[in-house]
Structure 1
């Protein structure tokens, strides 16, 4: 399939730019939940959902138009999405694996921007090795009682629901005996969320503790014991259209680093100049690879290749951002009055945050194992 943008796509691009420009005039000033509802009211949530199993989203859009929306949203520096996990991860999973009742209950609320989600996958000791999860869900009549701990959970403090991979059959091992449950987060005394403070000073992730939290038996996606199949299906859609929007953000960050190098004269250093050129060229290659994948490359390991590419690239950009600053990169203005003892500037935050790029979302080691098994046919490691 040849992936390209046509006349209709450019008309759509104009509509997107016009709507975003109108809503974000003078900075917008939107509260994040209010912004999600505004997106839903205008029909911008769920434009990429598969229509073959029911219409639960808003306006329809082709694949190229989905890319246009994602890229223009990033270019407009629109507010960070709180609904990303529900719209782009859970919704396609429900469309593929959920039943009609589950789709009718959850998809419209996501499309309206009214219910937010978080993801309960990783655990201490079961991060990249997802099959080692120990969170348990015990059947209790028409419900399950969920107990255990999840970690690195984005938006857990704000989310209304969490999709949780839990072990429902204690007699099974590894990927067998797991189920994919939809758990309401508003359960005081049964669910506790604790923020994780990062070395940058931010707290973008959380620990979540479940102590007998209640989940309806009707909210097990794919049925009991099908959790691994559903979880892997979700991970397959995690790196789709949003990857191209991510690259728009990468391009903006690279532009800032290049501007810094030009302003300070660091660009005259031939080694730094070569690194800047290489970052630019690699970003172009990542875009072409992402478009090729969306166009239907047929490569089962393509999402893993993409993750390896952007994780390493962004980490190297963080290193380059501080390299062009030289000695000045080790210090910065502190704003004690604003409660910011770190006082990090954009380059320092980029460097510190990007250290995790090769770990979260599936570590580089796991991505290489997937490529080795699915592409090269090599045997996997034995795990207890």
Structure 2
């Protein structure tokens, strides 16, 4: 908060003026009292002298002489009063010299006021700079989730990123995906989530099993979790499961697509559905039903890490497409609105491709998709 200070000289001036006025008032009262006492004394002395003269039979000249002496006293009394007035005026002048600045003091006051004005202007400028910085910080704050997230980059290059502060690692690999007799190529995401000091969960293992296993290192794979059974989400699931002796989790309605990729002999170990949950290592993983891109698409929400793995249901700035097609757009939008955007606003959304985003960011986009 900024406020304007009163000049110090003016504050002192008001206090001193009040003191000077008090001295002048007291002096005036003393003068009037002295005059009244002198007049009363003079009259009493004259009366006594006349009475004494009449009793003694003194001539009028003696009384005149006494009266003359009294007159001299009267002249002396006003003179004394005049001296008192002069003294009062001197006190008043001295008090005025303290309360009201002379020409030199006026310059000093103006200088002080100018300095205070400069300080005030400087303080205002500083306040404006601070407000500007706050505005910039607030603007930056709007972009903070994207700029501070190591997975927010838009680059389309294969490689490994992370782990981030939550223990999540991203492995990017080149995907070649055929759908409706058309071939699509892009960079897909596989997510490795630290479950505890000894093991991890692998989500949506794409085509590069070697890169995933290298990122896992010496740790154990507790679970291979797939969001649906399109090839980019399950392509290396069997190989990673066999190498690490890990179970595979998939929605039962995805078995037809699974068999196309891996045949009937390699079945998933766990059938999962929306609304279920799993405790793996130190994590509780909630299964979120996300039908739309396929009947059995699911997401994996880990509230203690503040993340949800959305598969191909929701990507940054758009509902996900299969190839260049929406399979069931209405159902997909319902899944986004009811299951994903109902999560806390700062929840990070980590999709099957593209950069990370947040629930808050995609909530602002939702109306444009309806």
Please report the TM-score for the alignment, with normalisation by the length of structure 2: 0.26
Identify the structure with the greater strand proportion. Answer: 2
Largest Rg, 1 or 2:
2
